[in-house]
Amino acid sequence: MSIPVVRAMADAAADYDALILDLWGVVYDGITPYPGVLDCLEALGRAGKRIVILSNAPRLSDMAAERLRRTGIGDHLYAHIVTSGDATRRALERRDEPFYAALGPAYCFLGKEADAGLLHGLDCRRSETPEDADFLLVTGPTDDSLRLDDYQALLVRAAGLALPMVCANPDLAVIRGGAREPCAGALAARYAELGGAVGYQGKPYPGVYEMVFDRLGGIDRDRILCVGDGLATDIPGAVAAGLDSLLVTGGLLADAWGVDRTLAPDPARLEAACRDAGVTPTAAIPVFVW
């Protein structure tokens, strides 16, 4: 297995009409856009590329867009934004999959209060305790300072009640301002270890890609490129959807390797990481620059 490494999006995007972009680890670090990203988005727009940001953010896309505006990433830099929060709400609104059709209306919420409104307006109600709930809705840790072990007692209680869990962000971790933080996916993995049943929405699961294709209006899949830093989410999601993929090595991989995010990856190390993950991207790039 030999994975081509390109240096610039000007080369990587030439054969595509649309790009599906991951957010964390590619466009910004959760606080600030990475150097060169705004210029790259502007250049892609001038080149006529349709850009959809696809994020495993456990909130609705309008909230995600507002957060981007506050970091300087304006609406004009992309055509659409789709989030795992959007997919979660749609799954619980439609309930056309067996897992979701079987859920009752009462949920116990685990996450930051800023994301607690994810299901507002649906036929659901929030319960304060697992004992009074039909399922768990998890968007992530309640506080950035807390870690997985801080939730063990709650997860054990819920597992003992055989509560299904709805995970609104399959990511295990993100890099915020240079520090790795656990996401809802890590809580879901711990819950599964306890024997709990988990339903996931977001990358790499198909529901969220269906929403993206709706917004891309019939562009052929062989003309769409997925760009992301997640070997557990972005790349397998792209492969399952029949799309080419570009792995950004300057995100989660650079953090795991302890290397400068802007440097080209060591080929042997890159291939070993992809082999361990069981996926092969179409190509790789250190950082998202034009």
User: Domain segments of the chain: what residues?
Assistant: 9-85+204-285, 104-200
Tell me the per-residue pLDDT of 64-118, one tens digit each, with 9 for 90 and over. Answer: 999 999 999 999 999 999 999 999 999 999 999 999 999 999 999 999 999 999 9
For the cut 90, the answer to whether the pLDDT of residue 185 exceeds it is yes
pLDDT at position 280: 96
Q: Which of the four pLDDT bands, split at 50, 70 and 90, describes residue 2? A: confident
Confidence of residue 181 (pLDDT cuts 50, 70, 90): confident
Question: How is domain 104-200 classified at the architecture level of CATH?
Answer: 3-Layer(aba) Sandwich (3.40)
Q: Which of 18-22, 88-92, 174-178 has the lowest mean pLDDT?
A: 174-178
Where residue 200 falls among pLDDT bands split at 50, 70, 90?
Answer: very high
- Choose the CATH number for 9-85+204-285 among 3.40.50.1000, 3.30.70.890, 3.40.1180.10, 3.40.50.720: 3.40.50.1000
- Identical fold, 9-85+204-285 and 104-200: yes
Using the predicted structure, report yes or no on whether residue 1 has a pLDDT greater than 70: no
Least confident span in 96-105, 168-177, 275-284: 168-177
- pLDDT at residue 30, rounded to an integer: 85
- pLDDT at 10 exceeding the cut of 90: yes
> Contacts by 156-163 with C-beta closer than 8 Å and gap 24+?
156/194, 157/130, 157/131, 158/108, 158/130, 158/191, 158/196, 159/191, 159/194, 159/195, 159/196, 161/130, 161/131, 162/196, 162/197, 163/108, 163/130, 163/133, 163/134, 163/135, 163/136, 163/196
Task: State the average pLDDT over residues 148-154.
Answer: 92
Average pLDDT along the chain: 95
Distance CA 161, CA 139 (A): 20
| Predicted local confidence at residue 174, as pLDDT | 77
In this structure, the strands spanning 135-138 and 173-176 are unpaired
pLDDT in the model for residue 58:
95
In the chain, what percentage of residues exceed pLDDT 90?
A: 91
Give the C-alpha distances (Å, rounded to integers) separating 121 from 56, 92, 132: 22, 11, 20
Q: What is the pLDDT of residues 43-63, one digit of tens each?
A: 999 999 999 999 999 999 999
pLDDT value, residue 108: 97
